[in-house]
Structure 1
Amino acid sequence: MAELAGVSIKTVSEVVNRTGRVAPATTARVEDAVVRLGYRPNLSARRLRSGRAGAIGLVVPELGSSGYFAELAELVVSRAARHGVAVLIEETGGVRERERDALLGPRRSQLDGMLLNALRLTDDDVPGVPDGFPVVLLGERQVGALDRVAFDNAAAARLVTEHLLEVGARRILVVGGDPSVSESAVQRLAGHRAALEAAGRPAAVRHVVTTQWDHESGLAAIAGALAAGTDFDAVLGLNDALALGVVRGLLDAGRRTPQDVLVAGIDDIHTARFTTPRLTTVDARRPAIVERALALLLARITGADDEGGLVELEPSLVVRESTTPAT
């Protein structure tokens, strides 16, 4: 690797382990050599030398159905690699026992810290976390006094609901996750209701269909709403996967988006930019969440100063074709 990059072995070590000050151009050459050679750090050897594994955990509910967590994981892996840190990813299915096992089980011994998106953990689980093991929560659920980096879900739903009202929606159907088990659903529904109430339209809240969070659920929800004769001229999917399923379901029923029904989502997953029509949504600030959470976790691992606590990032509306009918 040193020969390929044209540097000394010591310089390679300083770049890979982030232990020295190396010029940006030299760092870039070494990192290019790392990629070209497919280098992976030996975690056991690194732990013996430094007392650290050089690896963190990323624990998420799932990686496939919504697209959100897969994109989040990709960002974590790429950003962590810039710090010479490997990432071990674990799916929990949103099951409390699996979340608790990820946090407290034996696999934790391979890690220096953890980024954790929990759906079911409670404060009762936190006392079991050993002192000194850094954990940063991602998402809506607060557990104990752990650091948390999140996206303002209520503000996101307010933004997109206000937009739908501004472009002419009168009867908005909401398709989303079960608020009895999902903090994000609770917050997004609250934001939606707040926007309706501010516009003097609180009665419109009756149009809510509870589902899972995937494309198939969006398609099934809209088919059910149409079969039941539900009156709506716009649909808010509480995530993009649902909204995209809705668009497909409307098309199957001969309804066009946006000409017949306006459709919007939340999260701005990558696919939303390439559908027909392109989906109006809310940017969930994934890159900023990952950068801030990773910086906070690394600071906890190394003992550097970082105020931490709760960091909540503001959303921004992304208007695309699904809510902009031609005039």
Structure 2
Amino acid sequence: MLKPYDFANEVADCARSVEAALDRYLDRARLSGPGPAAERVVAAMRHGSLNGGKRLRPLLVRQAAQVFGVSPEASLQAGLAVEAVHCYSLIHDDLPAMDDDDLRRGQPTVHVAFDEATAILAGDALLTHAFAILAEESCHPDPAVRIALVAELAAGSGAGGMVGGQMRDIEGEKGGFSNGDIETMQAMKTGALIRASVRMGAILGQADPRALSAMTAYAEAAGRAFQLADDILDVTATSEAMGKATGKDEGRGKQTLVGQLGLEEARRTLEAMVADAVMALRTFGPRADGLRSTARYFATRKN
């Protein structure tokens, strides 16, 4: 008899595994070469990466890989690389030149705990080492798979992905968004790394083109749901629950889908996005229950 899927247990287990792996990796000796890693930048990298976070992107890598028979242990290293990119992006997003936030995961942001220059360098280092993590043979024995993982993460985090989305967000704050621009910006700024996470799990499992296409459709719908849920929480949640400032979008006069649609219509739209994500997985059966649960969690999370 098939054991019922336990989402809460998998989230907790994945978070523990990623936390432990980050703790091991973000070590001065491990990061050194050709010269000794600077103690202050390593400390800032650890401050911006450890002791918090739900580790949802590594969870998506893990769940997508499991669909194709890859164990959680075998997908952990790829998930670690994605989380390093995510943590770098948070450190940079919090900078005064960007979102100018003082609180992240209930603690001072890196530029507050250290200084702006150190925060920039810590983010740079996390981004750089993410690709070294994927290049190691322990990530996957097949060099072609490792190259595909590197290319996928670069696409998801670069000018056509997360970084490009952040640029579009900045431009939109200054000049406003026309029809469709908000969706494009969010698909890049937030959705692209979620998309890369799911596709990297499928790549680890050497999914065929048809299966990879279905995974991509799921990831894009789940990414839209995650961002819309985040916009809703910015309106409805407290700073204490979120571990960061809320109400920022309205305070800046920033356009969001919630602002365009209204709260109730935004919630209905969110439900439809989750349904689209779940529908994309219809050919995978119970193997994809983890991914289905994560999409549903995106719509119901409280922080």
Band the TM-score falls in, shorter-chain normalisation: under 0.3
Structure number, greater radius of gyration: 1
Higher relative contact order at CA 8 Å, sep ≥6: structure 1 or structure 2? Answer: 2
Q: Which structure has the highest strand share of the two?
A: 1
